[in-house]
């Protein structure tokens, strides 16, 4: 049981509440808002590093070794990626752009895994140019295109095949990916057939599975890890490498659990080793692909209150200077958050409020029914657990520029992404 006050539970590891309100690693959130403006993404380096190291260490001691490749779809700010690389993780990329981000952050091909259900030839060429360790095939058409490119380049590419095992998980249907109707991967039978008959230029190493995202009960993930070795044995296909994906969730509200990514990775390794022993199989090299569980809790988004009004049904809206342009998850998945006032997070609430974004959509709502202490124009609202799938999904609807981002490290903050200016919005127009 944590000793932290409930409002601080979804915040980064270094968060404390003091005279200046919430601070991360000794840096006041209110001061950051004043210096850098809002909306503002704030990332806590200690939280990122601690979680990344825990996963790297847990998978490295697998019987046949293994490694973790961080999913750039969750977070791709170069300043954060450099921390993750330094902690010992590789890069899981799903596009030419993500491959380039990984390279600019200092990753090489050693721990690079390439994903995507509709990889273009440019994506595949970028994977080859980066000397990616593994490409995860999503179907036979892709395998044939990649094989032709590899033959033309005079090289062989190690590959895995992604299968959809039909395992359901308790998450939003829009982020469940392992069911039989998913657009990702192939059926187990198709996957086995593809591994047996790969095009020239490709070397089959094993299987990949990913069941979904924001999974708070890790048992289905462990169940998939147990099932795959037995399946490979029954089909007589190679399993030198087993990639069990990612998907572990985080706490977004104080009442939710906070899974431990290091402990979860150890459980996966143990499950795979146990079933391999039961089946008389050699334990494969194990690959995991954490994303949200590394960076989600490390992030906080700061907004400035620009209006407070009570409407006809008696509810009170608190309008802020950001919204769906910097946080798509509420509109996409009905995601829930636990915002607080940055300078008085533990003050006695005076009512329940609805927090509205500034975009011209009724769905641009950050949170409903939030208990706050008399919010006023000019207050800074801090929304925790925004380190994953926020900056990477940000957009410019209504021609609002995307937020800046700062990294808090060793008691100081530095800008890692500059705010998008109005002129930037028209840089691509001709």
Active site residues: 360
Are 210 and 247 spatial neighbours (Cβ–Cβ below 8 Å)? yes
Question: 188-196 vs 219-235: helix axis angle to the nearest 10?
Answer: 50
By the 8 A CB rule, do 210 and 184 touch? yes
Please give the C-alpha separations between residue 153 and each of 115, 129, 158, 201, 284, in angstroms, as whole numbers.
Answer: 20, 10, 14, 9, 29
Q: Which of 245, 336, 352 is nearest to 292 (CA)?
A: 245
C-alpha dihedral (288, 290, 293, 298), degrees to nearest 10: 140
Residue 352 exposure: Cα atoms within 13 Å on the Cβ side: 5
Neighbours of 19 (CB within 10 A): 7
Cα–Cα distance between 400 and 418 in angstroms, integer? 14
- Asked whether the bond before 89 is cis by omega within 30 degrees of 0, the reply is no
Tokens matching residue 52: 């990344």
Beta-bridge partners for 300: 42, 384
Tokens of 390: 């926020």
Contact of 43 with 299, CB cutoff 8 Å: yes
* Residues in the chain, overall count: 430
Rg (CA), the chain: 22
Helix, coil or strand: residue 132: coil
Contact 176, 182 (CB under 8 A): yes
CA 393/CA 419 separation, integer angstroms: 15
Query: 231: which residues sit within 8 A by CB, 6+ positions away?
Result: 165, 188, 192, 207
Residue 72, SS3 per DSSP: coil
């Amino acid at each position: 049981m944590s000793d932290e006050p409930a409002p601080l539970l979804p915040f980064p590891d270094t968060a404390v509440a003091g005279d200046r309100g919430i601070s991360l690693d000794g840096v006041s959130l209110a001061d950051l808002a004043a210096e850098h403006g809002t909306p503002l993404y704030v990332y806590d380096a200690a939280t990122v590093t601690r979680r990344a190291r825990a996963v790297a260490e847990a998978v490295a001691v697998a019987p046949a070794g293994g490694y973790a490749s961080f999913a750039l779809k969750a977070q791709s700010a170069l300043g954060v990626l450099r921390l993750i690389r330094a902690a010992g993780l590789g890069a899981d990329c799903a596009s030419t752009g993500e491959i380039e981000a990984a390279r600019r952050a200092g990753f090489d091909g050693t721990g690079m895994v390439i994903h995507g259900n509709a990889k273009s030839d440019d994506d595949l060429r970028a994977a080859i140019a980066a000397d990616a360790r593994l490409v995860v095939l999503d179907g036979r058409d892709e395998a044939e295109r990649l094989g032709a490119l590899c033959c033309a380049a005079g090289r062989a590419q190690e590959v895995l095949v992604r299968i959809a095992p039909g395992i359901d998980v308790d998450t939003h249907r829009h982020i469940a990916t392992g069911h039989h109707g998913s657009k990702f991967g192939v059926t187990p039978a198709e996957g086995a057939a593809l591994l047996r008959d790969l095009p020239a230029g490709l070397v089959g190493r094993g299987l990949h599975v990913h069941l979904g995202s924001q999974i708070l009960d890790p048992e289905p993930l462990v169940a998939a890890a147990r099932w795959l070795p037995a399946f490979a044995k029954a089909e007589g296909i190679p399993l030198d490498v087993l990639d069990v994906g990612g998907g572990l969730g985080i706490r977004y509200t104080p009442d939710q659990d906070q899974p431990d990514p290091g402990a979860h990775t150890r459980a996966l390794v143990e499950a795979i080793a146990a079933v391999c022993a039961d089946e008389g199989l050699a334990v494969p090299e194990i690959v995991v692909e954490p994303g949200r569980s590394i960076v989600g809790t490390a992030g906080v988004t700061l907004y400035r209150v620009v209006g407070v009004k009570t409407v006809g049904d008696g509810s009170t809206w608190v309008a802020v200077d950001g919204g769906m342009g910097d946080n798509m998850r509420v509109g996409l998945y009905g995601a829930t958050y636990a915002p607080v006032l940055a300078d008085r997070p533990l003050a006695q609430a005076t009512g329940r409020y609805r927090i509205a974004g500034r975009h011209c959509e009724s769905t641009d709502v950050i949170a409903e029914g939030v208990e706050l202490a008399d919010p006023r124009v000019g207050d800074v609202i801090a929304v925790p657990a925004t380190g994953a799938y926020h900056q990477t999904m940000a957009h410019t609807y209504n021609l609002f520029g995307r937020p800046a981002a700062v990294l808090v490290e060793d008691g100081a903050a530095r800008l890692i992404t500059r705010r998008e200016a109005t002129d930037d919005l028209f840089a691509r127009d001709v």
